[in-house]
Structure 1
């Protein structure tokens, strides 16, 4: 299992991430700076910050010391908007939003991790390896946002090599969080995950609707993303600890 050198802590939740697609766009650092707490540095690759929209599903979520919770196939989908940051040289992920089709998942994520989870109406269908994904945000705490895409892998999966863009974008085992709006971002927490290294495959994707980044003032709808389809992963996550 790959991990980041966080202080040892027992895992709090086990998950399985499946049918995951990384959609990435390079953007200027200045575009994202107003939306990332000043305690965090925005990480760059060859001078660019990277903005991602990541659809996937979690068919299994298991809090520690409990049996697996069966949400049903495709019942607990997520859609994340994220970028990459460092804190005192330690790389991690910053989530702008996490839409989910589970009221429980949204409530727990907001309460225990201060993650910007929002309720959404979501649908995933898969036929012969092709995934049809749709999400419409329904949470009144956040601006409306939607995503619709059809995607499939187009080649074999492999682990990324250190120093490559793929490795920079995916091999991160920390997530930084701060005070949720409308509070000012004065506190900073970090949580960790552990899982096997990502195995990524080339992919094709037809995105017909993507307004997920518009709340950030960024419109990527006319730009082709860098795409990677990921093999399913079993993941363990720890609760947050406070840094500042």
Structure 2
């Protein structure tokens, strides 16, 4: 669902690179129980989805300011699902692991997002006859938070496409709102803006994945996979819902 771009000035620019959407269909009733009051689970044709999304961030900078070396580029790994608040669809993050301690604390403070410290490793490797593959590993190190590990290799296959409106691919990716909550349970909305996702089908070898254990769920079977090479994004400061 495409929403109007906010008229107030945006706050942050960033670039998402070498991203893989890995989605599993899960039990909707169980997943709904993990959401706070005021946040409603969204489903596609009656099915709920839980996503693990590895990627790399770069070019992070505030409006009218340059990027800061050492702070503006790092790997990130999300556990997310899809929700509605007051009828407006968006993304809910159960965790956002990142290899940037300052960024983790800024995001937790100013966006009320559950960013967490992690040791992370990512490289792009050429293969014989199969193009390039992204190799990715993450180990959560955040004090007081549930442990989580992830390791996978993934690559795009096929031509770049834009998701057809109404398709599962569109429903999973065309979301221009994120939601978060503070410690008192107040829900906030954050708007983002970007061009339609340039997507490709993907292949993945997922070797370790305990990301959903933090919410007491298991990810079973083969995931739905999509890849995107690059997306430039603008984000606005959060507001109360």
Q: Which residue of structure 1 lines up, in the alignment, with residue 129 of structure 2?
A: none
1:40-95 Cα offsets, whole Å, 9 max, x none, are 1100011111100000001221111211233389x511000000001122110000
Q: Which residue of structure 2 lines up, in the alignment, with residue 164 of structure 1?
A: 167
Q: TM-score, normalised by structure 2?
A: 0.94
Q: Count the aligned residue pairs.
A: 236
Residues 132, 151 of structure 1: 8 Å contact kept: yes
Alignment of 1:98-109 (within 5 A): 98-109=96-107
Q: Which residue of structure 2 lines up, in the alignment, with residue 18 of structure 1?
A: 17
Moved more, 5-14 or 59-68: 5-14
Please give the root-mean-square deviation of Cα atoms over the aligned residues, in Å: 1.6
Q: CA deviation at 1:169?
A: 0.4
Q: CA deviation at 1:6?
A: 6.0
Q: Which residue of structure 2 lines up, in the alignment, with residue 120 of structure 1?
A: 118
What SS class does the counterpart of residue 172 from structure 1 fall into?
coil
Residues 53, 80 of structure 1: 8 Å contact kept: yes
Q: Which residue of structure 1 lines up, in the alignment, with residue 133 of structure 2?
A: 130
Once residues 5 and 65 of structure 2 are traced to their aligned partners in structure 1, the CA distance between those partners, rounded to angstroms, is 24
Q: Which runs of 5+ in 2 are unaligned?
A: 127-131
1:153-191 Cα offsets, whole Å, 9 max, x none, are 011111101110000000000001112xxx352x11100
Moved more, 41-50 or 25-34: 25-34
Once residues 7 and 26 of structure 2 are traced to their aligned partners in structure 1, the CA distance between those partners, rounded to angstroms, is 35
Q: Which residue of structure 1 lines up, in the alignment, with residue 202 of structure 2?
A: 203
Q: Which residue of structure 2 lines up, in the alignment, with residue 145 of structure 1?
A: 148
Q: Which residue of structure 2 lines up, in the alignment, with residue 89 of structure 1?
A: 87
Runs of 4+ in structure 1 deviating by more than 3 angstroms, as ranges, are 70-73
Residues 2, 174 of structure 2: 8 Å contact kept: no
- Shift of the 7–16 alpha-carbon distance from structure 1 to 2, 3 Å rule, reads closer
Residues 118, 141 of structure 1: 8 Å contact kept: no
Once residues 177 and 115 of structure 2 are traced to their aligned partners in structure 1, the CA distance between those partners, rounded to angstroms, is 17
Residues 53, 81 of structure 1: 8 Å contact kept: yes
What SS class does the counterpart of residue 68 from structure 1 fall into?
coil
Once residues 83 and 169 of structure 2 are traced to their aligned partners in structure 1, the CA distance between those partners, rounded to angstroms, is 15
Q: TM-score, normalised by structure 1?
A: 0.92
Once residues 83 and 118 of structure 1 are traced to their aligned partners in structure 2, the CA distance between those partners, rounded to angstroms, is 17
Once residues 158 and 7 of structure 1 are traced to their aligned partners in structure 2, the CA distance between those partners, rounded to angstroms, is 27
Once residues 124 and 109 of structure 2 are traced to their aligned partners in structure 1, the CA distance between those partners, rounded to angstroms, is 32
Residues 97, 117 of structure 1: 8 Å contact kept: yes
- Shift of the 154–72 alpha-carbon distance from structure 1 to 2, 3 Å rule, reads farther
Q: Which residue of structure 1 lines up, in the alignment, with residue 191 of structure 2?
A: 192
